[in-house]
Amino acid sequence: MMNVLAPVRRDRVIADLPPCFRKEAALHTRPAFHPTVASACQEQRTGTVGFKISKIIVVGDLSVGKTCLINRFCKDTFDKNYKATIGVDFEMERFEVLGVPFSLQLWDTAGQERFKCIASTYYRGAQAIVIVFDVNDVASLEHTRQWLADALKENDPSNVILFLVGSKKDLSTPAQYSLMEKDALKVAQEMQAEYWAVSSLTGENVRDFFFRVAALTFESSVLAELERSSARRIGDTVRISSNENDLYLSAPRKKPKCCQ
């Protein structure tokens, strides 16, 4: 059982905004947390954010490495034998972001077709969608569009943040990898997703990726909370937006081309 009162592990404390992986496909490229968010945290005006659990769903083809990715981060383990996820599984991770407790519920879903209808009933209410493909398998990249479309059917596209994650980076040569990355960046841009490449075998980028997920989910939760509380105060909706390169947090998401 997770003890919600115990202090957060020291290696789950986020004091600065972790950087993106590729500037060409990032949710935003600001070097620090949104100033409105930073001051709200400093003044302890984050409302219910510190008590909430954010749901993150992880989807993608069978055997691309979704379970291994979550296990590398949450348990620091790696299993080379494939055991299909049946339906869904989840892990909890507690963070502290800018001094505020913040929990992620990571939902590991099944990629196998026959378990898909069970898994999809758990898609609803996600704050972030992580779509995984294998960097050595171009078909799995092509299928990410369908995974996104299915996940968005159960969620409000304007309220969810997206990550496209290439897995098993250890199995590709630098030349193969960079060839594939060109395509992956295009797909990520089209989806308005942030792109990452990881290896659960070596651990490369795994922690950095989840820290980025936690930080960006937190940032958008605080912005949403501030918007709600100011709407309550003045009886109208106030949009908190930034004029910087902030494609995803302020602009309402258009339905991506790939899921029409």
Ligand X SMILES: Nc1nc2c(ncn2[C@@H]2O[C@H](COP(=O)(O)OP(=O)(O)OP(=O)(O)O)[C@@H](O)[C@H]2O)c(=O)[nH]1
Q: CB–CB of 21/196 below 8 Å? A: yes
Closest CB to ligand X: residue number? 111
Determine, following the binding rule CB under 6 A, whether residue 240 of this chain makes contact with ligand X: no
Handedness of CA 153, 245, 105, 70 (dihedral sign): positive
Which DSSP letter does residue 253 get? Answer: P
The distance of closest approach from Cβ of residue 108 to Mg ion in the complex, given in angstroms and rounded to an integer, is: 6
What distances in angstroms separate CA 66 from CA 15, 72, 81, 198, 224, one per listed residue? 27, 10, 13, 11, 29
The residue among 28 and 169 lying less far from ligand X, judged by its C-beta, is 169
Tokens of 98: 């800018």
- Nearest residue (CB) to Mg ion, 67 versus 205: 67
238 binds, options Mg ion, ligand X, none, Cβ within 5 to 8 A by partner type: none
φ and ψ of 141, to 5 deg: -70, -45
Q: Is 92 in the site for ligand X (CB under 6 A)?
A: no
The amino acid occupying position 256 is: P
Residue 168 contacts which entry, Mg ion, ligand X, none (Cβ below 5-8 A, type-dependent) = ligand X
With binding defined as CB under 6 A, does residue 217 bind ligand X?
no
For residues 91 and 70, is the Cβ–Cβ distance under 8 A? yes
Widest distance between CA atoms in the chain: 57
Which 3 state secondary structure label does DSSP give 218? helix
Phi, psi of 129 (to 5 degrees): -115, 125
For residues 163-182, which are near ligand X according to CB under 6 A?
167-168, 170-171
# binding residues, ligand X (CB under 6 A): 23
Can you tell me which of 2, 4, 84, 238 binds ligand X, judged by CB under 6 A?
84
Is 82 a residue that touches ligand X (CB under 6 A)? yes
Q: Which is nearer to Mg ion, 84 or 251 (CB)?
A: 84
Contacts with ligand X by CB under 6 A lie at 62-68, 79-82, 84-85, 110-112, 167-168, 170-171, 199-201
